[in-house]
Each structure stands twice: as structure tokens, then as C-alpha cells.
Amino acid sequence: MTGTDEQNYHIKEYHKFYTSTEPLVLKSGDSLSEFTLCYETHGILNGDSSNAILIFHALSGDSHIAKHHNDDHPGWWDVLVGPGKYIDTNTFFVICANTIGGCSGSTGPGNINPDSGRIYGSAFPDITIEDMAAAQKILIDYLGIKKLHAVIGGSMGGQLALSWGILFPDSAHRIVLLATSARLSSQALAFDIVGRNAIRHDQNFHDGEYALKGVVPKNGLAIARMIGHITYLSAEVMRDKFESSRHNPRDIDTSFEKNFSVGSYLSYQGEKFVERFDANSYITLTQALDSFDQGSTAEDIAGKLRNSGSKWLILSFSSDWLFTPEDSLKITEALILNHIPVSHHCIQSSAGHDAFLIENDSKQYGTLISNFLQPDSENNANCCNIEDTNTVLLPGRNDLSFFAQLIAPESSVLDLGSGNGELLACLKGKGATHIQGLDIDFEAISNCVKKDIPAISFDLANPLPFPDNHFDYVILSLTLQAVKNTEQILTEITRVGKQAVISIPNFAYYKLRKMFNDKGLAPVSPGILHYQWYNTPNIRFFSINDFEILCDTLNIRITKRYAFDTESAQTIDKEINSMADLAVYILGKAG
Amino acid sequence: MTGTDEQNYHIKEYHKFYTSTEPLVLKSGDSLSEFTLCYETHGILNGDSSNAILIFHALSGDSHIAKHHNDDHPGWWDVLVGPGKYIDTNTFFVICANTIGGCSGSTGPGNINPDSGRIYGSAFPDITIEDMAAAQKILIDYLGIKKLHAVIGGSMGGQLALSWGILFPDSAHRIVLLATSARLSSQALAFDIVGRNAIRHDQNFHDGEYALKGVVPKNGLAIARMIGHITYLSAEVMRDKFESSRHNPRDIDTSFEKNFSVGSYLSYQGEKFVERFDANSYITLTQALDSFDQGSTAEDIAGKLRNSGSKWLILSFSSDWLFTPEDSLKITEALILNHIPVSHHCIQSSAGHDAFLIENDSKQYGTLISNFLQPDSENNANCCNIEDTNTVLLPGRNDLSFFAQLIAPESSVLDLGSGNGELLACLKGKGATHIQGLDIDFEAISNCVKKDIPAISFDLANPLPFPDNHFDYVILSLTLQAVKNTEQILTEITRVGKQAVISIPNFAYYKLRKMFNDKGLAPVSPGILHYQWYNTPNIRFFSINDFEILCDTLNIRITKRYAFDTESAQTIDKEINSMADLAVYILGKAG
């Protein structure tokens, strides 16, 4: 750090600096002849350096991820990082560095260019997200950490974490991405471009050489920040924040319009930002963000991630329109294409892109991250004790041990409606090569992640995001009667799986039939069909025979059928359509 | 028009000018001592001046709504307006005027202030949407039109049309709103505010007195336009437009960033806009747009619209995030609160806010507008011939004449799942005081509108947007079995209606029961239940007895029951739960 840098940036007692005097060769071919990273750490690095977690900040963040003590000023992720918190600094050694190109202690356009002795300004080279990650890899090497327990990042930080997984495929056990994408949408690009236009057309910008002129392009930078701020919030959260006070703006000291409460808020955010951020850094970082491009399709992205040796957790937020849930799903699909373990959940949130930084939804995303960083592994084979093939199914999902027997060891398996992951845990214990859970429910995903079972949240109303024959087995247990698109889901499971294993309730079970016939009332069964007609999740009512006729119509081959009376705990082999209340099938492609 | 005005604006041969030398007193109390409107007309005003339609342009539009001849330059609504088009100028006399405050021929900040002899600039008064509408009312009076056949407007033009309905409640037979709202969302306000900040902080703005300095705040205005442009498109349409050429921007002559195809597009739009638009007009009009506020709730808006004597058609577009479908629904609800006839449809579109200006979805919105402007009225009583109370229902919806007999004349009626509006047309013919259709399907809404039956598109998965006891009758015909939220919909119809009339299929009909019992297959009936189990829209299977038990559970009183065997065309009064395949109920509140 030079004297000038210190003027620009207030150094705190907990700031650490690492300066590399080796040149950093950039992706463009250009290079930084030396660079400094300002970083902070929390917790203690253990003896074998195995507990380190590297966390990347977002566009306007810095190294101050969390408070170092009670009187410290707030960190940007105090919600998650600290002693006893979701990312527990009693256990983990957390590192967070200001990125190169930034303006909070690490080398950026506001620093002295050692080659010229003058402030970089417009001479600061174009850098990429990959360059930012590469600079931090040098820091991690310097700290003597061979393999990180995890790297984590959201938004631009998520792009760094994704780059880490691509560039250094064996240097992190686990990678967490929040609210990020493999490349920005055109809409998101557009907002960044307009922001840069505002900065560059500020009369004080002077083609980036404003420092030489002793001025600051404050107006342009504030306007860029205002645009950014709108995109970080959702329309819903803006309504909640500003509608009740719509016509009562705060009377703040600003050169910007302060009509409407939302106007005074934006002005305040703009004015505040220019006090702490450098315009050239803003341009440098947003250009890196915009040019980041790992492909537009899951296949493209999969090509980049082929060698990843990490486990992944990918989180998105339903109201995030800057980095959308679809963006996250695309990265998830890419990892699944490569048979790399990945969990994904879209958190239902009204908070927009900023959701990953604030407390509202932290119980959900914090729990998922915590479960992912510290899974239990002792549960992994506890359903496989019962090896008797005559085991009769019990109500609920206790059909697991039976299912487990139907599936060859060392197979790849997708479980649709995987619940808490018991079956997959069992199959994993039996040597499955690739397991993937899928469920719509947060608790299910969270419990799978806690068991170290990869699971993704997905609505079965949509076609499955997997290629043909991707899994040896696809499992659909007691779910067919609850989905509306019956034909689609049957076609999908036999497309995606070489084989499908499916269990169905039989609504022609003799007790139900008799009940309906005698009483003329929709049957309410004490067994697996225990709902009222008006509140049951079941919306398709069919018999074993109905199902088999449909399989025939859809050209799906029934390889094997097992039928049970779960009430009397018996296997049924005669008069199945009357006597069984549940059937299990192995389905294959039509010959 | 003064010489200076002509310099600013190129006068075409079809431009007409009306200058009022009476002062226009503005809502603020301020006034314009005189004002000119530049307007254009299409078609011929008929003898009794009854065929005039006034159309309001959006923010950046002008009087040139459509071509006057084949070689004319394009108008902004050529898609809809012209001979033989949806708004047929062979039939209608269409008027479109540039709004006051604008910069395309009507009096705005770029014109000479007659009081000072200098260009208004910053001295142009704050005007409101209501002021703009009032100025055009003076033009309509001048043209000798006592009552317009219709006023129509989209976006800001929709706000003018809404204002027209509030200010001049008896001066238009019909009002069409497209893609508009009673007030902007906080998110939409925010974008306008940032745009104005960019203009006002342009070094050439000079507090609005740039004309005196002989400069133009081009950069700020272009940036405001770029922000606007993003909000007029949806993320989806931006993807379709720019993703395939993402890294191949057009090489245009611009001072703005042209990285990425979306960057060159925005630069082009910005550069083009400053050639034709005035910065002070942009500020004046967006401030009017932003301060327009008819209330945040349907109740508030209803208070303003209490006296409206018009029929209304309100159209929204599913991907419009600037003026959302919810905004349109709120105005619709307000009209319904006042028992004012209103139709509403949300058009499924990927085109964003601009959808109402372009061809993609014009078949839908054009047809609805055309049907609304020229409804057939001869069909209004053609189902009510059969007066025999013993008429037996036939399969399908031929239960109308029966339904019609159950409903007292001069009642208000809401029909849920109103289809093509036959029942409501019949009830209208019998003197119903207020009829309202509701359906999810475009064709249904369109056909109702063609019959002059008010109908709104709505998904019954949501609670009904009407207050308690708002209708004398709510009708739900053969729909209960197809909705998932059974309890909610039953509670809702008996909340919103003083009485409800409901028909249900009986799945315990003896033939179905026997079929299921004997064959063990989900029954496929030749009558009203003619689907396969896996593709039927029906998802709830219940009997007459089941239904009555549920009514009891929900504390809903069954006032009257009628049961039918529609196959044998008989009324059933014994063993109803076996012998009837359809029942009709009148429901009331529990005593």
C-alpha cells in the first residue's frame, strides 16, 4: 500500500495485506506487475489447514464480512458469519479479501501504477472475474492452504466462486453459489451499461483521469448506484418499503430529486455510495461482471465444469430478477450433466436479489449452507438392515428397503419426491455411483443436504431437466396420483431413466370399491388414502389395471410388478386389481 | 403556433391546430394563459357526431396515431387504427392530439410563453394528467362532440382515459384502458426519478434554461430514455432480441457504450430519441405520470369512479412489469364495487409493457377492443324461450334455461366460468340489474365482450376480488369438480353472493358406481364425465351426499336442491345419490 492508497482507504486494525511482486498475467494477456490484496480473517486455521473457507464479496462489498468484536462496525454478512452462526467461526477459518479492481484496500484503478508512478485511472487494465479469482488463489497458496473446505459467494461473488470451481477444480471440497449466474441476462447487462454511460458522461469523469484533475464524477456514479439499487430490490419489497410513506420523502441533503419516499431513498443511497466507492472501480468491476460468460446453455456450462471435484450447493431466490432462479437451475443442470454432486434450492422470498445479504430469509439459506458445510454422515446406510425380500410395505414411505432391493448396486439413481433422502442414503450406502434427490419442499432439501445427499427443488409440473437415459433408475414413489400431467411424468421418467421404479396406490382396492359402492361416498381410507375428497393432494384416481392400460398406450414396458395389501401386510399375487392397495413396478423402454 | 414552435416541430399537411385563448386553469391553481393542441383525425364525423373516438398517446407518442395514406410515415398505432382495422376508420372518426406539456406541436416547455415572450423552459408550470385530459375536453367541445363513442389510451394514455372517466363521467359511452394503472408502483416511480436525475445533472441542462444557452442536455435525456426502454421490454423479449447476437453489437455512431448487442441497441434508442424529444417535456410529462394518483386500493379508486356512466374495457399484459396486471385488476375491482359494467383481460404475452403497441398480440387485444366498440346486441335474450320449469338438463351447459328460472329478475348476478356469456345474456334480457362474467379463457371473454356482457378473466385458484354480499346470486356451473381449493371456492361464492346457484356432477351415479365396482377401472362416462382418468380436468370426485356433508361442515345452508338424470332426461326425486348424475343447488348463508 502506498501513501496515496491510505488516503483513499481507511485502514483498520484487522486489515491484513498481502502483496505479490510476481506479475499477475490477466486473461486478456495484459498483466498487473504487482498487486496487493486487503483481506480479513475470522476464526483459527487448524493444524492441517483443513478448515478454511474463502468467501467472495459482491460488487460493492469489501473484506469486512463480519464484525471482529462487539464494538466493531457491521460486516456485510454478520447474518451468517461469526461464532456459533451458520458459518461458524468457532469451527471454520473464514477468509474474505477485497477483490483486485476494487477500492477497499486491494489494488484497483485508484491506486498508484508502479510502472508509471501515477494513479492508474483509465490505465487500469480490463480484468475478468477469472483474474479476480486467480489473484485470491495466490493468497490462499501464500496462506499454506492446499484445499479449502469451501468457497462461497453471492452475486458477483458467486461468479468468482463458479470461476474457482472451473479454474481450480480440486482446490475446494465444497462450493456454495448464491443468487448468481453463468452469465448475465441481457436485461441485467442493460442496467450496467446505462450506469456506465451515466458515469462516463459525467462532466467530471475526464475519460477516467478525474483524479489528476482533483475532481470526482459523483453525479454519474450516484446515478449508476441508484439504477443498481432498483435491481437489487423486488417490486414487492419496494412496495412494502415505500408505499405507506409514498408522499412523505425524507428531507435529506442532496442534489438529486427527493420527491416521493422512494426518491429520497435513492438519493440517499446514491450520495452515500460516492463517499466510499471509486467510479473507475465501478466501471472495472461491472465490466468484469458483464463480460463473465460460461455459456448460455447447461451443455455449454457443463463443458467448463467437467473436471470439478467439488460438491456444490446452489441457492436462488424467487423474487430475484437480476440473477434469476432459472440462471441457478442452469448451473445445477450443468453439474448434473457431469454427474457432479449438486444441491439446489430456490428460496421463496419477496426480498429480491438482496435476499442473500439480509436477515429475512437467512433461516432458510443459512440452514442450507450450515447443513452443507457440516453434514452428518453417520446416517448413510441405516435403512438397509432389512434384507428379507418378502418384507411387506407399511403405510407411508416405509417401502424403502423394498425399493432398495430392486435397484442394482453401483447404479445412478434419481429419486423424484425424495423426501428426507432415506432411500438415497440407503442406496449410497450400498454403493450407488450417482444419487440425485428431487423434491419441492424446503425441509426435504435441507434434510437431504444435512445427510450429504445431493437434492434439488423442482416442480414436477415441468419436464425434467435431464437428458435421455441419464440415470440407471428413476424412482417415483406414491406421487403419480398427485400430479396433474400424468402422461408427461410417465414419459419423462422412462426417458430420463434407463429404468423407472414406481409405486402407485390402487383406488380399486376392494375395500375402497365396496365403500364407494355401498355408501355412495368418496372413500376415506385408514391406510395410505387417508384424506377427505376435498383436501386430498391426490387428484388422479385410477386402479392397477388403469395404470397398466396407460403404460401400454404410452408404449412403456412393464418389466416387473409387485403388489401388496399394506393393511393386512401381505404380498398379493391373485386378483391384484381388487386385493392390492399398492403396487410397485419396474418400467423400461418399449422393445 | 409561433415561428419558434415551427422550428422545433416539423408541421405535416395533416396536422390540425386548435388554440384556446381562454386560460386553462391547472389542478395546481396555476394556469396556462393560452394553449394550442396539435391533433390529427381519421375517418369522417357522422351527422349526429356519435362516432367519435378519442385516443390518447403514451409518454413519447404524438398525434400521428396512424398513416393517412400509403406513402405516409408510420403512425404509432397503425396496427389498430385504419380503414377495416380493429378500430375501423370507415366507421369511426378517430381523434388523436399531442398532449399539452409535450413537444410535438401542442403547447409545452419548448414553446414561447405568451406572458413573457420567451421560451417557457423551467417556467412551464407543473401539469397533471387531469390537466392534459381537461385540455383535450376543450378540443372535443370545440369539435361539437357531445358524447364520444369511446376514449382509449395505453400507459400514460391510459391514465388520461381513466382521468376522462373520472372528470367527465357522462361524456363517453365506452372507455378502454390498456397497460395502465391508477398510480405507478414504487419501482416504476424509481426508474422515472433516476431518469430525471440524469437529465437535471447533465451539464447542459442549466436548470431547464438550456434553450437560452443554445445547448441541449442530450446525454441526460438519452440516459433517461435508455432506462425507460429497459422498462418497456420484458426480460424474456430482451433475451429473444439480444442473446443470439450478444457479443455482436451493431457498429453505430454514438458517444455511448456499445458493448454487447443490447448496448448498441440502447445507444441507438437514446441517440434517436434526443433528435425528436425535448428534455423539459420529458421531465414535465414523467412528473405528471408520477404524481397521478387515484388511490392505492380498489376502494380508493372506486370513490373516484362512483359517477362513471361509461362501459369499461381494461386490458393488461402478463409480462408487463411497469404497469402490471394487478394494477389493471385493481381498477377493474373499483368499477365492480360501483356496479359499473367492466370487462378485463390479461393477455398472455412475452412482449412486456410495449405489447400494446406492437403486432405480436394485436389479434387478441385488437379483437377485444373491436368487439367492445361494436358489440352485437341481438343475441341478448335468446336462451330464455323455454319457460317450462320441468325442462330437463342436457349434457354440457344447456342447463341455462333452468338456471335462468332460478334467478329472480332484476337481480345482480356473477357467473363464475361464464363461458360465452349465454346465461348472463339471458338474464340481462330478463332484466338483471348488474351482470358480471368471470372466466379464465380468452375466447370466453372475447365472446362475452362481443355480446356486450361484462366479463373478467380470473383464476379461481385465488379468492374472489369482490366484497361480501356484492351480488344477489353467484353461479358456479359444473366447475367445482375441476378446482383444487374446494373449500375456499364454496366459502367464497356464499360470501360474495347473497345466494349461490351451483351445479355439480354426481360421481356416485349408479352407472359410474357399477362400472367402477364391476370393472375396477376409472369410469369413463358417455355423458358429462367423458374424459380419461389421466387427462380429465376434473380432479375432485364426490357424490351428492359428499357435497351436502361438506356444505354442512362449512356451515353453508342448502336452500333448494334439484337432481337430474341427464342421460335419460329425467328429474330425480328418489334415491338421488344413486339415480342422479347432476344436481343443482341454491345455497345461502347458515341461519
Residue A248's Cα: distance from chain center in Å?
38
Are B290 and A219 inside 8 Å of each other by CB? no
**Look-up: residue for cell 468484536?**
A69
* A-interface mutation test, from B186, B205, B320, B529, most A Cβ less than 10 A away: B186
The whole-angstrom distance between A106's CA and the closest CA on chain B is 27
Are B243 and A296 inside 8 Å of each other by CB? yes
The size of the A-B interface in CB pairs under 8 A is 212
Are A186 and B243 inside 8 Å of each other by CB? yes
Find chain A residues with C-beta within 8 A of B578's C-beta: 520
Find chain A residues with C-beta within 8 A of B266's C-beta: 190, 193-194
Joined together, the cell numbers standing for residue A424 give 438415497
**Look-up: residue for cell 416547455?**
B109
The whole-angstrom distance between B286's CA and the closest CA on chain A is 12
Q: What is the pLDDT of residue B9?
A: 60
The whole-angstrom distance between A271's CA and the closest CA on chain B is 12
Find chain B residues with C-beta within 8 A of A243's C-beta: 186, 296
Are A546 and B533 inside 8 Å of each other by CB? yes
Are A223 and B219 inside 8 Å of each other by CB? no
The whole-angstrom distance between A197's CA and the closest CA on chain B is 6
Write down the ipTM of this complex. 0.94
Are B521 and A545 inside 8 Å of each other by CB? yes
Joined together, the cell numbers standing for residue A283 give 466501471
Under-70 pLDDT residues of chain A:
1-9, 378-399, 525-530, 591
Q: Are A427 and A433 in contact (CB under 8 A)?
A: no
Find chain B residues with C-beta within 8 A of A186's C-beta: 235, 238-239, 241-243, 246, 260-262
Residue B3's Cα: distance from chain center in Å?
41
H-helix or E-strand containing B134?
A: helix B129-142
Dihedral, CA atoms, B412, B417, B421, B423, nearest 10 degrees?
-60
Are A259 and B290 inside 8 Å of each other by CB? yes
The whole-angstrom distance between A68's CA and the closest CA on chain B is 36
d(CA A217, CA A122): 14
Q: Which amino acid is at A93?
A: F
Are A238 and B197 inside 8 Å of each other by CB? no
Q: Which of B388, B399, B416, B389 is nearest to B473 (CA)?
A: B416
Joined together, the cell numbers standing for residue B124 give 412551464
d(CA B589, CA B556): 6
The whole-angstrom distance between A301's CA and the closest CA on chain B is 16
Are B321 and A193 inside 8 Å of each other by CB? no
Q: What is the pTM of this model?
A: 0.94
* B-interface mutation test, from A183, A191, A192, A193, most B Cβ less than 10 A away: A193
Are B260 and A290 inside 8 Å of each other by CB? yes
Going through B171-258 in order, the beta strands assigned E by DSSP cover 172-178
Q: Which of A527, A536, A478 is nearest to A505 (CA)?
A: A478
Find chain A residues with C-beta within 8 A of B544's C-beta: 520
Residues whose CB is less than 8 angstroms from the CB of residue A552 and which lie 6 or more positions away in sequence, other chains included: none
Joined together, the cell numbers standing for residue A21 give 511482486
Q: Which of B105, B160, B98, B171 is nearest to B130 (CA)?
A: B160
The whole-angstrom distance between B268's CA and the closest CA on chain A is 12
Dihedral, CA atoms, A266, A272, A276, A282, nearest 10 degrees?
10
Are B203 and A203 inside 8 Å of each other by CB? yes
Find chain A residues with C-beta within 8 A of B187's C-beta: 230, 233, 235, 238-239
Find chain B residues with C-beta within 8 A of A517's C-beta: 513-514, 516-517
Are A235 and B187 inside 8 Å of each other by CB? yes
**Look-up: residue for cell 448396486?**
A409
Q: Which amino acid is at B18?
A: Y
d(CA B423, CA B207): 61
d(CA B247, CA A295): 12
d(CA A351, CA B158): 30
Are B517 and A516 inside 8 Å of each other by CB? yes
What burial class does residue A275 get, using C-beta atoms within 10 Å of its C-beta: 0-12 exposed, 13-18 middle, 19+ buried? exposed
Going through B87-140 in order, the beta strands assigned E by DSSP cover 87-88, 93-97, 112-113, 118-119
CB-closest option in B238, B296, B540 to A243? B296
- Is residue A353 among the annotated active site residues? yes
- The CA angle A329-A330-A334, to the nearest 5 degrees, is 115
Are B223 and A201 inside 8 Å of each other by CB? yes
Walk me through the domains of chain A, giving residue ranges and CATH numbers. 1-146 (3.40.50.1820), 153-183+293-372 (3.40.50.1820), 185-291 (1.10.1740.110), 379-589 (3.40.50.150)
Residues whose CB is less than 8 angstroms from the CB of residue B499 and which lie 6 or more positions away in sequence, other chains included: B472, B473, B474, B559, B586, B587, B588
- Is residue A186 among the annotated active site residues? no
Are A193 and B262 inside 8 Å of each other by CB? yes
Find chain B residues with C-beta within 8 A of A230's C-beta: 187, 190-191, 194
**Look-up: residue for cell 367527465?**
B168
Buried b / exposed e along A152-162 (16+ C-beta atoms within 10 A): bbbbbbbbbbb
The whole-angstrom distance between B188's CA and the closest CA on chain A is 9
d(CA B474, CA B498): 8
Are B520 and A513 inside 8 Å of each other by CB? yes
Spell out the long-range contacts of A209-213 with Cβ–Cβ below 8 A and sequence spacing 24 or more: A209/A121, A209/A122, A210/A121, A210/A279, A211/A110, A211/A119, A211/A121, A212/A118, A212/A119, A212/A121
The whole-angstrom distance between A504's CA and the closest CA on chain B is 14
Structure letter (DSSP) for residue B541: -
d(CA A337, CA A334): 5
**Look-up: residue for cell 484497483?**
A108
Q: Are B353 and B465 in contact (CB under 8 A)?
A: no
**Gap between the terminal Cα atoms of chain B:** 71
CB-closest option in A198, A257, A543 to B521? A543
| Chain B CA closest to residue A233 | B187
Residue A510's Cα: distance from chain center in Å?
47
Find chain A residues with C-beta within 8 A of B202's C-beta: 201
Q: Are B260 and A290 in contact (CB under 8 A)?
A: yes
Helix, strand, coil shares of chain B, percent, nearest 5, are 35, 20, 45
Enzyme catalytic residues of B: 155, 320, 353
Say whether A500 sits in a helix, a strand or coil: strand
Residues whose CB is less than 8 angstroms from the CB of residue A98 and which lie 6 or more positions away in sequence, other chains included: A37, A38, A39, A57, A62, A63, A104, A105, A106
Find chain B residues with C-beta within 8 A of A520's C-beta: 508, 513, 543-545, 577-578
| Chain A CA closest to residue B513 | A517
Residue A155's Cα: distance from chain center in Å?
11
| Average pLDDT per block of 10 residues along chain B, 591 residues long | 47 91 95 96 97 98 96 96 98 98 98 95 97 98 98 98 98 98 98 98 98 97 98 97 94 93 97 97 98 97 98 98 98 97 98 97 98 80 45 50 88 94 91 95 96 96 95 94 94 97 93 90 64 86 96 96 88 95 91 62
CB-closest option in A260, A507, A543 to B189? A260
Q: Which of B199, B333, B380 is nearest to B273 (CA)?
A: B199
* A-interface mutation test, from B128, B257, B291, most A Cβ less than 10 A away: B257
Q: What is the pLDDT of residue A278?
A: 98
CB-closest option in B197, B260, B546 to A189? B260
DSSP-derived pairing of the beta strands A35-42 and A16-20: antiparallel
DSSP-derived pairing of the beta strands A52-56 and A148-154: parallel
CB-closest option in A203, A219, A546 to B521? A546
Kindly tell me the sign of the dihedral angle through the C-alpha atoms of B314, B317, B321, B322.
negative
d(CA B108, CA B122): 11
Joined together, the cell numbers standing for residue B263 give 448496448
